[in-house]
């Protein structure tokens, strides 16, 4: 290496260190921080620690254990957020940044964005979110401002612009801004699908979202051809990323399985028959994951004034789909479709997951260790353990006593930095 090159690479390394610090650390983050908790759930399948402490330094967890056995440096500072039930930060694997409040994220005042992020996500303990389709440039701009430390918010992953069948933008998306609708990919050939995937990834996408069956108009169903879908999946996998799909119907689910999709972002609503054994076995052997989005179904059906008893019957059928999937040890990821769904509160989703038969341990997995494993981050995320990222949530009460407490959040930390703490700063009446 020539001396100038050497010097340049050292300067670059120094700049990268600075950049990394501005992402992860607040002023004085070289300090050790102590977060005392009444109870800590280090991981879903690990016994809780009563009267515990977590020590955090430079964005990472350095110690987890009982307060009595902790070696706390004299210079350590104690967090204001003490006394709750602490666990790993949650991931919502199905969100959208598509409401008007996110428009022009590159220029919107930081405080406004921070408040929106708090209202939709961080006040519910989401320290990582996966945006499963939005106006990509805008979401990437939002993410950049968070990563620069300008706006406090969660880690954001995005699939960018979704891929639809030709003339297949679903009717429920027709209200989106026309400039966004115009940019949506509707590949007609395998090569167009590959090009769309490459363009998304080059612009910062972390995966691909396929709409396999859509209804652009009342009574019309359009389908993505297997060749186009397969090409999109192969191109995404070649970049080391995952494909998420909107299944809509059992038939589309089988297509998703055939073309090797990784994550289904919903169960299927209104199917006449339950998921069959062959499909379930195929999903299991293909390591396909599912995001149930139970609350969304009632929310959607209410728009059409469907009677409560019919809603109950339809949603119960989706419980049985998930139960059959869990019975074959399929991986469940937590997600709500929030952002598309204007009701941000995930409490009902936890209640419905429990009603479908999921234990608090399984729900905690879907929020923490399962998404970390799915996106190959399980060596650094999803647990409260030494060496792991200090992405943490502190709940006001124990979710193992009542699953509603998963939404009863006192504070949330990302890389040791508080990104939410009560009281909630919002437009809510005092």
Instruction: Please answer whether residues 135 and 180 qualify as being in contact, where contact means their C-beta atoms are separated by less than 8 angstroms.
Output: yes
- Closest to Zn ion by CB, 90 or 299: 299
- Closest to Zn ion by CB, 41 or 97: 97
> How far apart are CB 132 and Zn ion at their closest, in Å?
5
- Closest to Zn ion by CB, 41 or 90: 90
Instruction: For residues 408 and 144, give the distance between their C-alpha atoms in angstroms, rounded to a whole number.
Output: 29
Stretch that binds Zn ion, among 18-26, 76-84, 340-348, 355-363 (CB under 5 A): 340-348
Stretch that binds Zn ion, among 135-143, 156-164, 317-325, 335-343 (CB under 5 A): 335-343
- Closest to Zn ion by CB, 118 or 336: 336
> How far apart are CB 162 and Zn ion at their closest, in Å?
9
> How far apart are CB 173 and Zn ion at their closest, in Å?
10
> How far apart are CB 293 and Zn ion at their closest, in Å?
8
Instruction: Give me 360's structure tokens.
Output: 């608090």
- Closest to Zn ion by CB, 10 or 183: 183
> Hey, what's the torsion of the CAs at 294, 295, 301, 303, to 10 degrees?
-160
Instruction: For residues 187 and 128, give the distance between their C-alpha atoms in angstroms, rounded to a whole number.
Output: 30
By beta carbon distance, the residue nearest Zn ion is: 337
- Closest to Zn ion by CB, 235 or 337: 337
95: closest CA among 139, 144, 47? Answer: 139
- Closest to Zn ion by CB, 297 or 340: 340
> How far apart are CB 91 and Zn ion at their closest, in Å?
15
Stretch that binds Zn ion, among 49-57, 217-225, 332-340, 395-403 (CB under 5 A): 332-340
Please give the full DSSP string across 35-88, using - where no structure is assigned.
EEEEEEESSTTS--EEEEEEEEETTEEEEEEETTT----TT-EE-S--SSEEEE
> How far apart are CB 217 and Zn ion at their closest, in Å?
20
Instruction: Please answer whether residues 61 and 384 qualify as being in contact, where contact means their C-beta atoms are separated by less than 8 angstroms.
Output: yes
Stretch that binds Zn ion, among 79-87, 120-128, 338-346, 382-390 (CB under 5 A): 338-346
Told to check if 349 binds Zn ion by CB under 5 A, we report no
Helices marked H in 328-377: 347-355, 360-367, 369-374
> How far apart are CB 254 and Zn ion at their closest, in Å?
21
- Closest to Zn ion by CB, 208 or 369: 208
- Closest to Zn ion by CB, 170 or 282: 170
319: closest CA among 356, 274, 372, 279? Answer: 356
Give the pairing type, strands 207-211 and 213-214.
Answer: unpaired
Instruction: For residues 127 and 139, give the distance between their C-alpha atoms in angstroms, rounded to a whole number.
Output: 16
> How far apart are CB 248 and Zn ion at their closest, in Å?
11
Told to check if 337 binds Zn ion by CB under 5 A, we report yes
> How far apart are CB 16 and Zn ion at their closest, in Å?
35
b/e sequence 365-399, b meaning 16+ C-beta within 10 Å: bbbbbbbbbbbebbeebbbbeeebbbbbbbbebbb
Instruction: Give me 391's structure tokens.
Output: 């992405």
- Closest to Zn ion by CB, 344 or 400: 344
> Sign of the C-alpha dihedral, residues 365, 366, 370, 375?
negative
Stretch that binds Zn ion, among 73-81, 216-224, 336-344, 365-373 (CB under 5 A): 336-344
Told to check if 321 binds Zn ion by CB under 5 A, we report no
Residues 6+ apart with CB under 8 A from 187: 163, 166, 193, 195, 196, 228, 232
Give how many residues touch Zn ion by CB under 5 A.
Answer: 2
- Closest to Zn ion by CB, 34 or 352: 352
Phi-psi label, residue 204: left if phi above 0, alpha if psi -120 to 50, beta otherwise: left
Instruction: For residues 28 and 32, give the distance between their C-alpha atoms in angstroms, rounded to a whole number.
Output: 9
Count of alpha carbons within 13 angstroms of residue 351, beta-carbon side: 10
Stretch that binds Zn ion, among 149-157, 313-321, 339-347, 378-386 (CB under 5 A): 339-347
> How far apart are CB 131 and Zn ion at their closest, in Å?
9
> How far apart are CB 96 and Zn ion at their closest, in Å?
6
Interface residues with Zn ion (CB under 5 A)?
Answer: 337, 340
């Amino acid at each position: 290496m020539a001396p100038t090159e050497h010097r340049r690479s050292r300067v670059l390394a120094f700049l990268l260190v600075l950049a990394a610090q501005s992402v992860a650390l607040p002023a004085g983050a070289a300090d050790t921080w102590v977060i005392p908790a009444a109870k800590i759930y280090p991981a879903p399948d690990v016994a809780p620690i009563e009267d515990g402490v977590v020590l955090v330094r430079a964005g990472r967890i350095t110690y987890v254990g009982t307060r009595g056995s902790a070696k706390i440096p004299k210079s350590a500072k104690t967090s204001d957020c003490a006394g709750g039930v602490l666990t790993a930060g949650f991931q919502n694997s199905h969100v959208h940044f598509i409401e008007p409040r996110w428009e022009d994220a590159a220029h919107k005042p930081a405080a406004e964005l921070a408040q929106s992020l708090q209202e939709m996500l961080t006040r519910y303990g989401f320290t990582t979110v996966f945006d499963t389709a939005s106006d990509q440039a805008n979401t990437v701009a939002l993410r950049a401002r968070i990563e620069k430390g300008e706006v406090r918010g969660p880690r954001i992953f995005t699939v960018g612009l979704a891929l639809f069948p030709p003339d297949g933008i679903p009717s429920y998306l027709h209200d989106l801004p026309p400039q966004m609708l115009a940019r949506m990919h509707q590949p007609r050939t395998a090569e167009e699908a590959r090009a769309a995937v490459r363009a998304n990834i080059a612009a910062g996408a972390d995966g691909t979202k396929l709409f396999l069956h859509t209804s652009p108009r009342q009574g019309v169903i359009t389908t993505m051809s297997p060749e186009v879908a397969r090409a999109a999946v192969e191109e995404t996998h070649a970049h080391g990323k995952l494909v998420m799909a909107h299944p809509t119907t059992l038939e589309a689910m089988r297509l998703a399985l055939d073309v090797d999709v990784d994550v289904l972002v919903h169960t299927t609503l209104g199917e006449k028959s339950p998921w069959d054994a062959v499909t379930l076995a195929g999903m299991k052997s293909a390591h396909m994951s599912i995001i149930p989005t139970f609350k969304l179904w009632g929310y959607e059906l209410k728009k059409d004034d469907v009677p409560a008893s019919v809603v109950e019957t339809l949603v119960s059928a989706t419980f049985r789909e998930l139960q059959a999937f869990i019975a074959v040890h399929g991986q469940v990821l937590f997600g709500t479709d929030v952002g598309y769904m204007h009701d941000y509160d995930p409490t009902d989703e936890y209640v419905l997951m429990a009603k479908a038969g999921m234990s608090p341990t399984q729900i905690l997995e879907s929020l923490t260790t399962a998404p970390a494993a799915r996106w190959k981050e399980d060596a650094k995320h999803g647990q409260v353990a030494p060496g792991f990222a200090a992405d943490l949530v502190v709940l006001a009460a124990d979710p193992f006593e009542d699953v509603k407490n998963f939404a009863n959040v006192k504070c949330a930390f990302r890389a040791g930095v508080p990104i939410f703490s009560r009281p909630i700063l919002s437009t809510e009446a005092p």
